[in-house]
Amino acid sequence: QKEVEQDPGPLSVPEGAIVSLNCTYSNSAFQYFMWYRQYSRKGPELLMYTYSSGNKEDGRFTAQVDKSSKYISLFIRDSQPSDSATYLCAMSGERDNFNKFYFGSGTKLNVKP
């Protein structure tokens, strides 16, 4: 079983839709949760960063962490064609192993004009 599971998609939505991207994980020791956006032929760009459980909002983006269910989500409101990219979840924070990051395989999102 992978440490982090993420549906690869692709996910295709019309412009203006609300997008929900999700990851599940198996290691209850994770404390830090990140979402990265990766455009084609570019490096991953940090989008959202959350410590422990709860919600964090930044503009059209909301990140949710539910540690009891080992489930994290990224919501994109009023999606735009410029949001078309691959979204990677990542997590870290194992005791004595802070430098190890676990990545999902990425969900490819296509927002149609």
Partner 1 sequence: DAGITQSPRYKITETGRQVTLMCHQTWSHSYMFWYRQDLGHGLRLIYYSAAADITDKGEVPDGYVVSRSKTENFPLTLESATRSQTSVYFCASKGQGAANEKLFFGSGTQLSVL
Q: What is the gyration radius of the CA atoms in the chain, in angstroms?
A: 14
Least separation in angstroms between CB 60 and partner 1: 20
Question: What's the CA gap between 23 and 15, in Å, rounded?
Answer: 23
Closer CB to partner 1, residue 25 or residue 103? 103
Closer CB to partner 1, residue 42 or residue 77? 42
Write out the residues near partner 1 by the rule CB under 8 A.
31-32, 34, 36, 41-46, 49, 51, 88, 90, 92-93, 98-101, 103-106
Closer CB to partner 1, residue 8 or residue 16? 8
Distances (CA, A) of 43 to 49, 57, 85: 17, 23, 11
Question: What's the CA gap between 20 and 92, in Å, rounded?
Answer: 22
